[in-house]
Amino acid sequence: MSATTGRAGPAAGWLGRVADTLNPRRIWREIRHSNPVGYLFVLPYVLFFAVFVAYPFGFAFYLTVHNWNIVRPEKPFVGARNFEILLQDPLFWKALGNTAVFLAVHIPLQIAVALLLAVVLNQPLRARGVFRTAYFLPYVTSGAIVSLVWLRLYADDGLLNQALAAVGLGPVGWLSDPRVAMPAIAVMATWKNVGYYLMIFLASLQSIPAQLYEESYLNGANAWQRFRYITFPLLNPAFILVVVLSTIGGFSLFVEPFVMTGGGPLDATLSLVLYLYQQAFQFLRMGYAATIGVVLALLIFVVTLIQRRFLEREVGY
C-alpha cells in the first residue's frame, strides 16, 4: 500500500463500507437469498417509515426548491433561491443566535441540576419515590400549561419580583428585557425537563456496583474522591446521552417562546423553530419554511455528531 493510500486508509475504508452496503446488486442478492417471511414482519414498520418519515422528509426537500404558499396549487420551481434568501435573512441569523444563547444557558444548567438531584435521590432518603415523582411530573405536563404558569411568575407583579421587592431589590423585566428574556426561558425549560434527565442519571447511578464504593471507602477515599474516580467515569455513557438529547431538544425550542413572548421583545426570544412556524403558517411561505427546517435538521446532525466525537474521544471510547 502506498503512503498516500495509508494516510487515507480510515476515510477510504469507511466510504468503501458505505458504498458496499448501498450497492444495488448486493442488496438485490441478499433479498433473493433471504427468507421472504421475514419481510412480512417488517412490512408494517416499512409502511410507517415510508408514510410518516420518508415522504415528509422527501417532500420537505422538494419544497426547498419551489415557491408554494399553500393556498395555491402551483409550486413554481425556484432552484436555490430559498437558500440564497436564507443566507441573507437577518432574522434567520438572529433566531440562530438566540437559539445558541438558549443552548449555552440551558445545557450546562440542566446537566448540573439533573446530576446533582440524581446523586441526592440515589441516597437512602425517606420518601424518595415522592421526590422522584415530583421532579418528573413537570416533564409530562403540557408545555403550554407550564409556560402559562411561568408567565405569571415572570410578570412584573409576579412572585419572583415580589420576592425581590421583599429584600429591597428592584423588579426585573424577565420577559420584557431583551438581555434577560432568553436566559429566563432557558431556566424555565430546565425546570420543566430536568426530571427526564434526572431519571437517566439515576438509572446509571443505580447500575454502579456498590462493591466499588465499599472498597474505596475501606481504602480511605472520601466522598469527593469516590465521586471523582468512580461515579463520574461510570456515568460517561449517560452524560453523552444527556448532552446529545439536550442539544436536540434545545434546537427544537418552540412552545415556550411561542406562549410566553411570541418571539419578543425585539425578537430576543425568536427561536429557529418559532421562526419556521411564522414563515409557514403566518406568511404561508412553505418553501422558505421547508428550507429553514432542512438547514435546522442538518445543523442538529452536525452539532450532535461533533459533540459525540469530542465527548467519546475525551472519555476514551
253-270 pLDDT, tens per residue?
Answer: 999 999 999 998 999 999
In a domain, 147, yes or no: yes
Q: Is residue 72 part of a domain?
A: no
Same domain? For 108 and 257 the reply is yes
> How many domains does one find in the chain?
2
Q: Over the chain, what HEC string results?
A: CCHHHHHCHHHHHHHHHHHHHCCHHHHHHHHHCCCHHHHHHHHHHHHHHHHHHHHHHHHHHHHHCECCCCCCCCCCECCCHHHHHHHCCHHHHHHHHHHHHHHHHHHHHHHHHHHHHHHHHCCCCCCHHHHHHHHHHHHHCCHHHHHHHHHHHCCCCCHHHHHHHHCCCCCCCCCCCCCCHHHHHHHHHHHHHHHHHHHHHHHHHHCCCHHHHHHHHHCCCCHHHHHHHHHHHHCHHHHHHHHHHHHHHHHCCCHHHHHHCCCCCCCCCCCHHHHHHHHHHHCCCHHHHHHHHHHHHHHHHHHHHHHHHHHHHHCCC
> Tell me, what's the pLDDT at 1?
43
| Averaged pLDDT for residues 153-160 | 91
Work out the pLDDT band at 41, boundaries 50, 70, 90. confident
Q: Do 9 and 148 fall into the same domain?
A: no
Percent of the chain with pLDDT over 70: 91
pLDDT tens track for 136-156: 899 999 999 999 999 999 998
The CATH number of whichever domain residue 152 belongs to comes to 1.10.3720.10
Tell me the average pLDDT across 164-173: 88
Query: Do 16 and 96 belong together in one domain?
Result: no
- 140 in a structural domain: yes
Same-domain check for residues 178 and 282:
yes
| The predicted structure's pLDDT at residue 107 | 94
Task: Tell me: do 9 and 138 sit in the same domain.
Answer: no
| Dihedral Cα 141, 143, 146, 148, nearest 10 deg | -140
Same domain for 105 and 30? no
Q: Evaluate whether residue 191 is within a structural domain.
A: yes
Alpha carbon distance 95, 263 (integer Å)? 9
Dist. CA 271–CA 248, nearest whole Å? 13
For residue 63, being part of any structural domain is answered with no
Using pLDDT thresholds of 50, 70 and 90, give the confidence band for residue 5: very low
In a domain, 232, yes or no: yes
pLDDT at residue 317 above 70? no
Residues 140 and 237 both lie in one domain? yes
65-110 pLDDT tens trace? 998 888 877 888 988 999 999 999 999 999 999 999 999 999 999 9
pLDDT of amino acid 16: 66
Mean pLDDT of 100-122: 92
Same domain, 237 and 170: yes
The pLDDT of residue 309 is: 82
Contact 103, 181 (CB under 8 A): no
Residue 108 in any domain: the answer is: yes
Q: Output the pLDDT for position 314.
A: 60
Exposure string of 214-225, with b = 16+ CB inside 10 Å and e = fewer, is eeeeeeebeeee
Which letter, b or e, does each residue of 7-19 get, where b requires 16 or more Cβ atoms within 10 Å of its Cβ? eeeeeeeeeeeee
Radius of gyration of the chain measured on its C-alpha atoms: 25
The range of the structural domain enclosing residue 214 comes to: 90-314
Q: Domain check: are 99 and 243 in the same one?
A: yes
Write out pLDDT tens, residues 185-225: 999 999 999 999 999 999 998 888 888 888 888 888 888 88
Residues 252 and 275: their CA atoms lie apart, in Å, by 11
The chain-wide mean pLDDT, for the chain, equals 86
Instruction: Give pLDDT, residue 316.
Output: 54
What pLDDT shows up at residue 217?
82
2 or 230, greater pLDDT: 230
Same domain for 3 and 111, yes or no, is no
At 14 the pLDDT is: 58
52-67 pLDDT, tens per residue?
989 988 999 999 999 8
